[in-house]
Chain A
């Protein structure tokens, strides 16, 4: 019974047609999976992976990419060999519906290859809400390095330190030297900017901004949003938007290139 049904079905397509279709769709699978493997390795090799995920998970992406390539390659090899022997192709693959899934994967991979992931910018930071508090949450060891020279602290170190001991006055007069990008929060007076960094825990999906206000001697128009700056100055307490906040009184602002790794961890 089963046999007769299958014969009826197969009669609809000529053997050559169906074989070619199956062959094409299998190659489409190979291409889609291979392309994903290449995409993942490519992000790693071009150093773009750190825009997407935390370095701790690089090995996963790398081995995943290699795994995908191995699977695609072994299927490709089998297809090539099969073609030489011709005619041994299993016919159950001949009636694949149009390769929509593989096309979707392939197209995504190709777009991924042509598209450069972008570092989140000031607008995203404003949307997500910049904060100088983390919660004891990221209670990483760094948070307790209070003995560290203040000017060696990164922006995230400052925020972590502030989390452990939130009284801004405790830091008054300490010197600061931090790097980050500029945000112009609407609620701050015009001679203030926010110097900010994105922190990621796992991947760009959980990136969240941290930042500290910086008091300039002139209007912030000289430092448009998203400019990367290295700011040196001393710490002070300021009341901004009705809240006492640790603020950097800038003494020097140097424009720097966007760091290769724009996130902090």
Chain B
């Protein structure tokens, strides 16, 4: 019973802490949808995969959200048809490479500025590499959830088709259009079309835009909120079921400490905005490389984020992302522990 109580307290504390960030992310994502001409932004993104991945990794600077907030934005970007490396770069780097997180990390590790610098640098490098690797897959559809895949493809189709097909009441018509695909996530399709609507009708009155903003916020809050509930429940369960001692006792060596901290990062699912404070509590007992591994890997992949990412990607894609990010993080931080770089 007390275990259950603890798990529930953990669960609620994760949720209560993550909910404001989720709200912030969803709001920003909705504002991005309605008040920024994404088509413009997308046309300005570099076509070169490597450069695109790098630019994508730095878009986080415009959207100071943590990993619960960046998923809706990444999803939105993908739905708008941004090139893959950009979206992947953003997804992996945005939770770390943004002003709020940098500030928080700096606050925590003032005594070790190298941790702050290396965290940002390595996150950028890893996100860029993974984004670049993903650029090999030109057709993203097999990796995306069906609804996202549809809109991704849809946005790759020249815009004229949409205009031709858009009758007098585009909202109504377009909303029903995608509902015809059996077994699809209908609401997201509605969002896509709202997005297209917003993009094709930039001069809509402000009141309409605000209404769409609220609708979109509610839609994403509902979807991502439910996934967050799920992820937090799993994280809480594992934290209670597996004594933290077991995870920590995995070792203090250059290799084992990194592995232990990466597992901890994935299990604890702590928000990137606050994870540096969490990592701080290990800075005496753990190697710098392992702390970095925690700070770099945690925001990219953790149990909670996997839950959220499932709203974009099929499990296969998440396994690729997970494996690539984990290996790169491990290699780089091992180099640091062994003082190779």
Do B173 and A53 touch (CB < 8 A)? no
Do B2 and A203 touch (CB < 8 A)? no
Decide yes or no whether B6 CB sits under 8 A from chain A: yes
Do B8 and A1 touch (CB < 8 A)? no
Which of the segments B53-61, B82-90, B164-172, B317-325 contacts the partner chain? B164-172
B136 to chain A, nearest CB (A): 34
- Taking CB atoms and an 8 Å cut-off, the chain A residues in 54-109 that contact chain B are 57, 60-61, 63-65, 67-68, 71, 74-75, 78, 90-93, 95-97, 99-102, 104-105, 108
Cross-chain contact of A36 among B14, B19, B21, B174 (Cβ < 8 A): B19
Decide yes or no whether B195 CB sits under 8 A from chain A: no
Do B268 and A206 touch (CB < 8 A)? yes
Q: For A135, what are the chain B residues with a Cβ–Cβ distance below 8 Å? A: 281-285
Do A75 and B214 touch (CB < 8 A)? yes
Decide yes or no whether A123 CB sits under 8 A from chain B: yes
Mark B1-30 against chain A: 1 for CB-CB distance below 8 A, else 0.
010011011101111110111011001000
**When A52-B13, A101-B223, A134-B284 are in contact, do A2 and B173 touch as well, CB less than 8 Å?**
yes
Decide yes or no whether B217 CB sits under 8 A from chain A: yes
Do A129 and B245 touch (CB < 8 A)? yes
B98 to chain A, nearest CB (A): 16
Do A117 and B283 touch (CB < 8 A)? no
B221 to chain A: closest residue by CB:
A33
Mark B239-270 against chain A: 1 for CB-CB distance below 8 A, else 0.
10001110010000000000000000000111
A71 to chain B, nearest CB (A): 6
**When A101-B225, A102-B222, A135-B283 are in contact, do A201 and B176 touch as well, CB less than 8 Å?**
no
Do B274 and A2 touch (CB < 8 A)? no
**When A3-B173, A33-B218, A36-B225 are in contact, do A204 and B23 touch as well, CB less than 8 Å?**
no
Decide yes or no whether A170 CB sits under 8 A from chain B: no
Q: How far is the CA of A65 from the CA of B175 in the complex (A)?
A: 30
Which of the segments A5-13, A149-157, A174-182, A227-235 contacts the partner chain? A5-13
Decide yes or no whether A128 CB sits under 8 A from chain B: yes
Q: How far is the CA of A9 from the CA of B270 in the complex (A)?
A: 43
Do A121 and B9 touch (CB < 8 A)? no
Decide yes or no whether A256 CB sits under 8 A from chain B: no
B22 to chain A, nearest CB (A): 8
- Taking CB atoms and an 8 Å cut-off, the chain A residues in 173-211 that contact chain B are 201-206, 208
Do A128 and B284 touch (CB < 8 A)? no
Q: Tally the A-B contacts, defined by beta carbons under 8 Å.
A: 210
B150 to chain A, nearest CB (A): 14
Do B186 and A95 touch (CB < 8 A)? yes
Decide yes or no whether A148 CB sits under 8 A from chain B: no
**When A123-B2, A137-B283 are in contact, do A71 and B221 touch as well, CB less than 8 Å?**
yes
Decide yes or no whether A138 CB sits under 8 A from chain B: yes
Q: For B175, what are the chain A residues with a Cβ–Cβ distance below 8 Å? A: 90-93
Do A5 and B27 touch (CB < 8 A)? no
Q: For B278, what are the chain A residues with a Cβ–Cβ distance below 8 Å? A: 201-202, 206
Q: How far is the CA of A102 from the CA of B174 in the complex (A)?
A: 24
* Residues of B in contact with A, size category: 35 or more
Do B10 and A71 touch (CB < 8 A)? no
Do B9 and A204 touch (CB < 8 A)? yes
B19 to chain A: closest residue by CB:
A64
Decide yes or no whether A136 CB sits under 8 A from chain B: yes
Most chain A CB within a 10 A radius of its CB, from B10, B236, B285: B10
A115 to chain B: closest residue by CB:
B8
**When A112-B12, A118-B5, A129-B245 are in contact, do A68 and B283 touch as well, CB less than 8 Å?**
no
Most chain B CB within a 10 A radius of its CB, from A39, A67, A92: A92
Q: How far is the CA of A201 from the CA of B108 in the complex (A)?
A: 11
Q: For B190, what are the chain A residues with a Cβ–Cβ distance below 8 Å? A: 92-93
Q: For A121, what are the chain B residues with a Cβ–Cβ distance below 8 Å? A: 2
Decide yes or no whether B187 CB sits under 8 A from chain A: yes
A sample of 26 inter-chain contacts (CB < 8 A) reads A2-B167, A2-B177, A6-B180, A36-B19, A36-B225, A51-B13, A52-B12, A53-B13, A60-B17, A64-B19, A68-B23, A101-B226, A104-B230, A105-B226, A112-B12, A134-B284, A135-B284, A137-B283, A139-B111, A202-B17, A202-B278, A204-B9, A205-B239, A205-B268, A206-B278, A206-B281
Sample of 7 further A-B pairs with CB below 8 A, known A78-B214, A97-B185, A204-B13: A32-B225, A61-B17, A92-B171, A101-B226, A108-B229, A118-B5, A202-B274
Chain A contact residues, CB within 8 Å of chain B: 1-3, 5-6, 8-10, 29-30, 32-33, 36, 39-40, 43, 49, 51-53, 57, 60-61, 63-65, 67-68, 71, 74-75, 78, 90-93, 95-97, 99-102, 104-105, 108, 112, 115, 117-118, 120-121, 123-124, 127-129, 133-139, 163, 201-206, 208
